[in-house]
Structure 1
Amino acid sequence: MDEPMESFDAGDGSQQNQESTFQPHYNASVAIASQSPSLEDNGCVGRFPDDKNSTKSHSCFTPLLRPGSMVMMILTEEDYETQYWPKLKTAIDQLLNMKPAAYSPISYEQMYSCVYKCVCKQFSERLYNDLLSHLSTHMVHLNSELQSCESESIPFIEKFSFLMHQYLQALAGIVPIFNYMNRFYVETKLKSDLNEELRKLFCTKVVDVHIAVLLRYLDQVSAVPFAVSPPTMASMVKNLYALNNDYSKLNPGLFSRYLPNILPPTDPALLEQYAEEARRVQEHISSMTDFTSRGSRSKRVYEDDISVN
């Protein structure tokens, strides 16, 4: 599928062809676009749902501008490098560095328009490669941040959780901006999806580099209640599984504490083994220094102070 081409109107919309009659059903841009099959066939101009005659010959349309008044916009490599890509890169950086739950004043309409023009002017491949290259550079910075606290379990887990959450939040803004490129290049030519490609990039460049250390630390702190807040632990494990469910195979016991159906179904033949595991867990809890056990017949603390009226 060829990439779409785009035309821009530079004529005077008030001029009309004297030999044609005015049809109020079409505005100037639709009447012009209908005469150019290359625009409609490639997706740059959409059809209106109520336009039942859109597939007919262009002779049935009435042009509102004289022939020759339409010019093609030219987008050079210099324009792309000095105007379009810098704007997009600035918006990407804002999204990547935005704190979770924060708001960034980005004009999505303007950014989408930049992507639209680049795609229509045959810059799809360049735009896609620049996007991946820029995100890869950002991930080098993420790795350096993680390496700076890799020697301590809790700071490392909290930093990793924050950076992963921040990146996934950024994708929720980046992917819509590049939606036109996704439709006409990534899906059509690469047979893939932009969101999946950017998530795989994060797995390859960041998660895979630190997954062994991360799972070891998660396993250690999970044995100490509230060493890391439960929401952080649950979010960390769920996000890892969503990025790549094969991570659960590296430590099924850890993932099974937060996600269902990780371990195989219960086998009745292993009931004695399950009972032994439960006994060992109870012994471990009883041996903890902060654990105190009370007899079942003992009164609850402050029971005498509870009013029954």
Structure 2
Amino acid sequence: MNEGYSFLQLLFVKYSDSEYLSEAWTPINETLKQFLQNSAENFKPTSYQTTYCQIYKTVCKGYKERLFDDLKNLVTEHCYSLKRQLDESMQKMIDDRSNTRMNLFFLQFTNLLHQYRRAIEAIVPLFHYLDIIYVKPKVRSSIEQELLLLYKTIIVESFLNHIFILLQHLINTSHRPSKETIDLLLHLISDITPESAIKQYDLFKRYCDGEVVFSEITSNDEDMITSAPRTASKRPVDDLPGEEDQPSAKRTTNMIKSLHTDN
């Protein structure tokens, strides 16, 4: 009995800042990077369990707010790294103006979104205790909602109009993406930004079971990502790309109209 009480006392002794960094955040950070970079193929279940215990211990030791902020900062940095990759690819697509380059950009956007969703599915269970102790009662959101909102704000909102314009063009060419790829993208989009599914009803009806998608959105309206508090970290407005950095959807449309089709 005394041993159990002593263990609980030790568990709830607060970390110092240096202990938090060395014993908690540094190993947790390395694990999260593996998932975000999709390099966790050889990740052992015992390591996953160890990380879960590290997060649980960190919350008990009074670092729940710091841990949540560090998680969001790490994911924000990762999302901006992905955005830079997409910015570069989009500029190449605009310079080249070929259907091949458009298709490559479409596939890259879809693959990055799919990889991110898979990473979130692995990361969220690790933070279950933080979710129920801090994020849901205090932030009135969830870790999954917050991490999806980061991707939506930083990447999806920057490129989605371009992606839909490209898709409308490519489906009428020999470079059209496979039905499976289109279906995957649309389901991922409906998951992250349900309002876009409504705006693109014809596309969803053509490539997905549109009625099912929209009934799910209606029935789960309270759980929609857009209803979550916008607490996700954002860069200051001054740091966001201007028109000269991020081509407008209108420019993408004009590019498609004037493109030369590669054979």
Q: Do they fold alike, i.e. is TM over 0.5?
A: yes
TM-score by length of 1: 0.60
Relative distance call for 1:188 and 1:212 in structure 2 (3 A) is same
* Conserved 8 A contact 2:14-2:62: no
Q: Give the secondary-structure state (helix, strand or coil) at the position aligned to 1:223.
A: coil
Query: 1-side partners of 2:82 and 2:159: how far apart?
Result: 11
* Residue 15 of structure 2 corresponds to residue 75 of structure 1: yes
Aligned positions of 1:132-143 closer than 5 A: 132-143=72-83
Secondary structure at the counterpart of residue 188 of structure 1: helix
Q: Is 2:79–2:150's contact at 8 Å kept on the other side of the alignment?
A: no
Code of the residue aligned with 2:127 in structure 1: it is F
1:104 to 43, 48, 67: 43
AA in 2 matched with 1:234:
D
1:182 maps to which of 112, 116, 131:
131
Q: Distance in 2 between matches of 1:103 and 1:146?
A: 28
Q: Give the partner amino acid of 1:176.
A: P
CA shift digits 1:158-177 (9 cap, x unpaired) = 10111111111111111111
1:1-309 → structure 2 map (5 Å cutoff):
32=5, 73-98=13-38, 102-105=41-44, 107-150=47-90, 151=93, 152-224=101-173, 227-259=176-208, 260-261=210-211
In structure 2, what residue type is equivalent to 1:218? L
Counterpart of 2:255 in structure 1 is none
Shift of residue 203 of structure 1?
Answer: 0.7
1:247-269 deviation line (CA, Å, top 9, x unaligned) = 12333222221232279xxxxxx
Give the SS at the match of 1:228: coil
Q: Secondary structure at the match of 1:257?
A: helix
Q: Deviations over 1:120-159 (max 9, x none)?
A: 1211111001100110000111011111221231011110
Code of the residue aligned with 2:60 in structure 1: it is C
Q: Which has the higher contact order (CA 8 A, sep 6+)?
A: 2
Matches of 2:49 and 2:2, distance apart in 1? 22
TM-superposed deviation, 1:226: 6.2
CA distance in 2, matches of 1:184, 1:29: 26
Q: State the partner residue of 2:251.
A: none
SS of 1:227's partner is coil
8 Å Cα contact 1:95-1:104 kept in structure 2: no
TM-score under structure 2 length normalisation: 0.70
How many Å separate the matches in 2 of 1:105 and 1:87? 14
Aligned match of 1:275: none
Figure out how many residues of one structure are paired with residues of the other and give that number: 202
> Identity rate of aligned residues, in percent?
25
> Unmatched 5+ residue regions in structure 2?
94-100, 215-263
The runs of 4+ residues in structure 1 deviating greater than 6 Å are none
Confirm or deny: 8 A CA contact 1:88 1:114 kept in the other structure.
yes
> Is the CA contact 1:248–1:255 (under 8 Å) kept in the aligned structure 2?
yes
Contact 1:116 1:181 (8 Å CA) reproduced: yes
- Alignment gaps of 5+ in structure 1: 1-26, 40-69, 264-309
Question: 1:156 and 1:105 mapped to 2: Cα distance?
Answer: 33
AA paired with 1:175?
A: V
**Could you say which structure has the larger radius of gyration?**
1
CA contact (8 A) 1:98 1:104 kept: no
